[in-house]
Structure formats: structure tokens, C-alpha cells
Homo-oligomer: A and B are copies of this chain.
Amino acid sequence: MQLTLHTDYALRVLIYLAMHPGQRVTITDLSSFFKISRNHLVKVVHELGLKGFVHSVRGKNGGLSLSKPADQIRVGEVVRAMEVHFHIVECFNPQKQGVCPIQPQCSLTALLGRANEQFLRELDEAFLSDVLLRG
């Protein structure tokens, strides 16, 4: 079981920004620090902007910063927003309805849905600032 690399990278970007409050961070900074391809980071950062997690200033001296203080961004909120789907097993997918013939007699989806909710609830308890260890 794992989150997508897209969500993983989104969390890393936000944690980096939380570690550098008041600074404008560029994609070049992020790409060279994390050794992650610019192309992938451009997509991640674009979506983080659309979802309201980062604020971007264009031009010379431009860059990214968190749109809210790190102690106001819940990790669960980021994962819920960035993860493409939570189709824990195939029958969660609306396009796969009816594919599995035991579905009418099976309540696994409800059970896995509750388990997923417990997973996210734990992440809702923590703010970005909580995952930074003071060195």
C-alpha cells in the first residue's frame, strides 16, 4: 500500500517550504535539493497552487511560499487534495462497477472505506509544522 509519487513529492515540497519560512523558493532550488526532475516538480507545484497550498510570485526574485503558515495546513488536507483516488480495491472505482461478481453479497468496500477514513483522520490530526523536527 502506498501513496502516489505525486502526493509524496507534494508533501516534500510543502515541508521544504515550511522549513524556509519567509523565503521565495524556486523550482530550480527544489529540483537541485531533492534531485527530482523539474518536469515532475512543475506539475506538482502547479497543482499545489491550484489547490491553494502555495503562493507563487513571478519574475526575478520570484518563487514559491506557503499560502498559509505551516501550523495551519493539515497533512490530511494535503493528502486528500493531492491523491488522485482512494480506490483501495478495484470495486471502489465507479468505472469497474459490476466487474466483480461477488459485489452484491460483499461489504468489503464499506470496511475498507472505514479503514481509509481512519488513515486520513490520523493525518488530519497533524499540521505541516508538526512533522518538522527541530535539529
Contacts and interface: CB of A to CB of B under 8 A. Distances in A.
Interface of A: 1-5, 7-8, 11-12, 15-16, 19, 33-35, 75, 83, 85-90, 99-102, 104-108, 111-112, 114-116, 118-123, 126, 130-133, 135
Contacts of A33: 101
B115 A83 contact: no
A6 to B, nearest CB: 11
Contact of A133 (B87, B99, B105): B105
A5 B87 CA distance: 11
Contact of A116 (B1, B5, B16, B105): B1
Contact of A119 (B87, B105, B119, B132): B119
A121 B118 contact: yes
A120 B131 contact: no
A35 B32 CA distance: 47
B1 A135 contact: no
User: Top 5 A-B pairs ranked by shortest CB distance?
Assistant: A115-B122, A118-B118, A119-B119, A8-B89, A115-B119
A9 to B, nearest CB: 9
22 contacts: A1-B2, A1-B4, A1-B85, A1-B86, A1-B119, A11-B89, A15-B106, A15-B108, A19-B105, A33-B101, A75-B111, A105-B132, A105-B135, A107-B130, A107-B133, A108-B131, A111-B123, A115-B118, A115-B122, A118-B118, A118-B121, A118-B122
